[in-house]
């Protein structure tokens, strides 16, 4: 996470809500051969101290997970390149503004009996965002095909010990300069969801 305190003042609840809304991140653990990474959808139940996810059984993290182990789930929010010209200030340099949340804790396998419920919760969470489309449910699957697919994945849980958030939105610049850059990001930003990062730059979350 970025060391500048100006980018680390966003309340933990706001960072948690950002991670829950994204629902997708990079899971990382240390292994004998080096770091292992997996890109995973996840659930962060409101008020719970854990994230729920699943891994393919053949995933190196799943194979290494013989007992609970330290892990980080890194979640990326909107981002954009920032040209120094956009601040209308002298002696500025290029940078990149972004939102990132790290969920740190211990990752463990869960009993296979929990897998159907986890998959139902995951699909329901994302399907409800597609309303008014009729939600997909596992009942649309042939039972044999569904069981074959479920045998290939394992349910996991990350017990969260720490939530770190970086909201790098130009808070270290004068308000006028930051908002001028936000206007340019909205029109010319290079990144993902540049309109959203522009809005956040105009009104960064309050500490």
Q: Supply the pLDDT for residue 124.
A: 96
Q: Is the pLDDT of residue 1 over 90?
A: no
Tokens 């993290």 label which residue?
A: 61
33 band by pLDDT with thresholds 50, 70 and 90:
confident
Q: Are 135 and 128 spatial neighbours (Cβ–Cβ below 8 Å)?
A: yes
CATH superfamily for domain 5-116+152-200: Electron Transport, Fmn-binding Protein; Chain A (2.30.110.10)
**Residue 32 reports pLDDT greater than 90:** no
User: pLDDT tens, 86-122?
Assistant: 999 999 999 999 999 999 999 999 999 999 999 999 9
Whether pLDDT at 65 is above 90 = yes
CB 118 within 8 A of CB 135: no
Q: pLDDT tens digit string along 114-168?
A: 999 999 999 999 999 999 999 999 999 999 999 999 999 999 999 999 999 999 9
- CB distance 191 to 197 below 8 Å: yes
* Mean pLDDT, all residues of the chain: 96
Q: Is 135 helix (H, G, I), strand (E, B) or coil?
A: coil
Q: Which of 75, 74, 76, 77 is nearest to 201 (CA)?
A: 77
Block residue for tokens 């610049």: 173
Q: Please determine, for residue 170, whether its predicted confidence score (pLDDT) is greater than 90.
A: yes
Query: At which residue do the structure tokens 């040209």 appear?
Result: 83
For the whole model, what pTM was predicted? 0.93
């Amino acid at each position: 996470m970025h060391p500048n305190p100006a980018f680390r003042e966003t309340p933990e609840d706001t960072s948690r809500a950002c991670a829950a809304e994204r629902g997708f991140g990079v899971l990382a653990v240390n292994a004998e051969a080096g770091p292992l990474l997996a890109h995973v959808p996840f659930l962060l139940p409101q008020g719970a101290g854990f994230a729920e996810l699943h891994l393919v059984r053949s995933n190196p993290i799943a194979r290494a997970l013989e007992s609970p182990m330290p892990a980080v789930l890194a979640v990326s929010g909107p981002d954009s390149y920032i040209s120094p010209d956009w601040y209308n200030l002298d002696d500025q340099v290029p940078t990149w503004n972004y939102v990132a949340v790290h969920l740190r804790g211990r990752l463990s396998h869960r009993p296979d009996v929990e897998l159907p419920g986890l998959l139902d919760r995951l699909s329901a969470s994302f399907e409800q965002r597609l309303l008014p489309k009729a939600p997909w449910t596992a009942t649309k699957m042939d039972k044999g095909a569904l069981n074959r697919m479920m045998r290939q994945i394992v349910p996991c849980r990350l017990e969260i010990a720490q939530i770190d958030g970086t909201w790098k939105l130009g808070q270290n610049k004068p308000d006028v300069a930051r908002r001028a850059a936000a206007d340019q990001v909205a029109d010319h930003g290079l990144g993902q969801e540049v309109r959203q990062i522009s809005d956040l730059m105009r009104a960064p979350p309050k500490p």
